[in-house]
Amino acid sequence: MQIEKIQFEDIRYNPEVSAFETLVRVHEDGQDYSYPARVTAPLHAEYAIVSRGLAEAARRAHRQGKPELRLAHAAQMPLADTSSHSETSILGRLFGNRAA
């Protein structure tokens, strides 16, 4: 299994612990997983250093496979075709003519 892609959500600086934090999404074998990540660095740290630290923290969490930290994303479901039901209300579809 090989990590195919790593993406960051909005990176925030937490001054209380002097660290950058984000939710990192790891894409592997067609499945997406998200992990909280934190890297201790000063506010003026270079982006490359911060992003490398956050990515490494996510890789470590992913390799450890701790289920309490892992958020698995469900696969995208195709939208159902509702064009045939567009003129019928939801109550009409649920209860038929009894809804009137």
- Domain map of the chain by residue range? 3-99
Q: What beta strand segments (E) does 9-97 contain?
A: 12-14, 19-28, 31-40, 71-73
Tens-place pLDDT, residues 45-79: 999 999 999 999 988 888 886 656 566 555 555 55
H-run or E-run covering 50: helix 47-64
Give dist(CA 46, CA 10) in Å, integer.
Answer: 16
The reported pTM is 0.62
- Look at 82 and 19; give whichever has higher pLDDT: 19
